[in-house]
Structure formats: structure tokens, C-alpha cells
Amino acid sequence: MVSDSIGDFIIQLKNAGNAGLESVSVPYSEFKFKVAEKLKEKDFVKSVSKKGKKIKKFLEIEISYKDKNNRKPKINDVARISKPSRRIYKKTSEIFPVKYGKGALILSTPEGILTGEEARKKKVGGEALFKIW
């Protein structure tokens, strides 16, 4: 049993890209769906779709690549910040760009799932889930 579903989710995306897969299927949760939508907005994944019915729902996520010939994924690496054993919260003043603006910090805020840029604009802090670049 996986105790860190978000950590497992982002590592599956990274590994699927490194393996050159077109898409990856992960168990569905509303939280993962919203995180995947943010990754789609930031162009780290091509598409996100919910499939299945009732208890057998899953997310089908299409991986985005920089170059179709070389199959270099847009997700180079991920770093989990807040873990189930240790939650890390950031104030607005503590949110900085990731990799000189080429990456993204994903936060869980009272406004919902936001990137670091959106959180700074809305002047809201929250739990720092992970960095992706």
C-alpha cells in the first residue's frame, strides 16, 4: 500500500516520460486530478482524462515531450517537498521561482491547487507539495 499517493503519482509521470511512454494510468482521486490539471496548464503533460466508473476510476495522462524524434520528456525531474511525515508550509514571501522560471512549485492553498506564480499573485500561501522542472 502506498502511503504517499502524490509522491507516487509524480514519480510515475517522471518514469513514464523517461521510458518514452505515450501515456500513463494512475488510480483516480479528485486531488490527483486537480494536480494533473495544473501540470497540463504548465505544459508538463499533454492531456488528462478521467476514465472508468464507480470504484474502478483511473486517470489517463498523456506525457508531453520536447521533441518527438528524441523523445525527451518535458519533465526532467521532480522533488517532493511536503511529505506525510513532515508537512512544509510556505508564506507568500517564501515562494520563489523554480529553476529560473522554467519549473513550477505546486501548492495546496485555501484557494485550491495553485502554482507558485499564481499563489504569489493572489497573495496566498499554503502547503508546498512538490517542485517540477
Tens digits of per-residue pLDDT, 5-20? Answer: 999 999 999 999 999 9
Q: What is the pTM of this model?
A: 0.91
Instruction: Say if residue 61's pLDDT is above 60.
Output: yes
The mean predicted confidence, pLDDT, of the chain is 94
| Best CA proximity match to 114, nearest among 44, 7, 37 | 37
Instruction: Say if residue 1's pLDDT is above 70.
Output: no
